[in-house]
A and B are shown apart, each in its own frame.
Chain A
Amino acid sequence: MSPILVGIKRVIDYSVRVRVKPDGSGVVTDGVKMSINPFDEIALEEALRIKERNLATEVIVISIGAHEAQQQLRTALAMGADRALLVQVDGPVEPLTAAQVFLKLVQKHQPQLVILGKQAIDDDNGQTGQMLAALWERPQATYASKLELDGARARVTREVDAGLETIEIDLPAVVTTDLRLNEPRYIKLPDIMKAKKKPLDVTTLAELGVATPTQGIRTLKFEAPPTRSRGVMVKDAAELLAALQQRGVL
């Protein structure tokens, strides 16, 4: 048996209405609620369930980002993770850099599984899991809605455009989570107290031997999306049909 690594990203909470700053330099983050990326919460829940079935030795949660991401790692520890590592980086982290960080940690911890969210709800890139699998030269099972472990193999059901696809992969492997994989547990108060005693280490890219990219993809500006305006209201099906005909849609 071996550990499971889980990625935890600190993002603007999904319920916050994100607004672009007037100067186009980013989005408003002052006083905005921050949370664990929802897909990462699902990843952690899946890892915890595997450990609870005695199929993993421990669950290690890893975040790459600002000092404040320790809050999200503490939440992950309260959910049940055994220990946490923050790779402290100021400023945005490109998915390729994140994958290089995970590769270093995979070489150190020799996990059977790395479970990541299929995407983070801030940059919506959806790349890190696939990139890690490429660098690690191991299988990837993206958009997982069901994960069944069978010794040195896993059978994964994936949510794809055509419906559901099932693949079989050898372990170790990277799995990325879709919404319907599980429903993450709620945290109980005693767990929050217990989490304060669990180990949370902090390291840096330099300590891990990951180079800071000098020539990545640069974000030049942020803009608010074009808005649609409210249209006409009709009072019954017949009027609706007439309005559709008037617009030339039918």
Chain B
Amino acid sequence: MAQRWPKLVLLVAVGLVVAALVAFLIIRGTGERAAEAARTPYEQPALAKTAAGAGAHPAGQWYIPAGDYASTRFSDLADINTQNVGQLKPAFTFDTGYLKGHEAAPLVVGSTMYLVTPYPNVVYALDLTKPDRPVKWSFNPHPNPKSQGIACCDVVDRGMSYDNGRLFMVTLDGQVIALDANSGAQVWRTPVADISKGETVTMAPLVAAGKVLVGDSGGELGVRGSLKALDEGSGKVVWKAYSTGPDKDVLIGPNFHPYYPSDQGKDLGVKSWPGEAWKQGGGTIWGWISYDPELHMIYYGTSNPGPWDAEDRPGDDKWTAGIFARDIDTGQARWFYQTAPHDLYDHDAINEMILLDMPVNGTMRKVLVQPGRTGFMYVIDRVTGQVLSADPYASMTAYTGVDLKTGRIQHNPAEVPQSGRVTRGICPAAPGGKDWNPSAFSPRTGLLYVPHLNLCMDHVYTGANYISGTPFLGVESKMYAGPGGYRGEMTAWDPVRRKPAWQIRENLPLWSGALATAGDVVFYGTLDGWFKAVDARSGKLLWKYRTESGIVGQPISYRGPDGRQYIAIYSGVGGWVGGLVSGGFDPRDPTAGLGIFNAVPDLAKYTGRGGRLYVFALPR
């Protein structure tokens, strides 16, 4: 008896060990199988196509940041492909001399590459015909230094546009400038912003149909947002459409036919606000504009309403946090859809809109697809403004869905912030399921490649006080990694089947744009400076290269004068989240950077400041 007990104990112990081992192997095996399964090529046929007429761009060139008016960021060059991308090497680099967030896309026109730096918005033209790629000319617009302290979230510049021998650029203090692309000589200069009111400009202007379209930044400073169309030849303002205020200011007239009743009515840009709050109501336009030449319509989103404290502005706060369709010639609004009526969380609607033609319930529809800050992937009929589907693609606790009958986003009451109570665990956080950094679409795979975020936050309303030219927020916020502990994600999304084809988790938030090529390679960068190439069908990592600083830029591809395909990307950490490093801020304060630095207290371990262009090619 005395000897049987230890035997039994031994048996039980051995049994437990074996069971644990088996369980471990099973779990590990499942994990590996899951990872393996995730890298199996997505075999569904491509059903979504680039919108007819909006996908054209000059062969092997890059004239506007999105590549084409449909905003696909697709390059039809295929010399670099899934088989050989592993051999990619730097062909040349160029130091800009500035160390803030380099968010811009390079442009390539003929045998010249055009770069624009963050503040002070210096433009460089590089001669691609010579081995050293020397500077042909440079242009310094000398913006007002005060604009640096007015710009929310780093002093970035998201790029320029080229058309008909001219480059169109903006400065942080809100001047739109046309340059002769050959000489760098200034053709015209038009100021469109007033920094004393908190207005700055960071977006890339879009040139289309003889107009230069420019918005503004300052949704955090009580700016009254507006989109301006300047005559391409003279720089004169042709029309200006405010995002708040009476219909005549918003350019709402007889041709305005919003799909949902909540957007129908007179002067909603005044009536959906308390008192005169619309005058400081935000709705700035600092993201992307798409253009459908066949419908003659532009599409763009408006920013969060001001202030962030939603208790200060009861009502729908139109026309903020929504998507406008306008006639490009007159600026007259055609439809509007509000992704976040009475926005609670800084969920702007400024993200890119990719124009596609694709089947929805068996019928071909002209749609726009927007990966929203709200965390929903919106598929919207771009003729009528009807929401065809809205599926979550990011971690979500704040919303429960979008009612397709009314178009209204549905709130989770437990996550509605208040004054006097800290609301915790709000997902997505203020920068949303995805911020400004644009997705790419490949018509070869029918997939949208979405570089996005996995961040949640605690939020409390504190009340806002309007002082012209200072922040108008009334919120304290603190952000952190979402479920799973990772902070960024690259999702390949099938807009027709409304599900991800594959996903790649990234430790740090993704703040760079994406590029898809006909070689079935997708490129993007990370905040720790890796520039990555993945298989467009499976997400398998094919190549990576460590650049000098975190990547928040937009990759492009072009064919050089020597006939080879090149891939170009800026390296230089910054922007809202990367500003922690470029601005030298202090993450010990959990509310710093509107709460976002708390999500990346480790960023300085991975990257220092930088400002360098990298261009890659296959070895000769």
Q: Do A and B bind each other?
A: no
A-side residues, CB < 8 A to B, are none
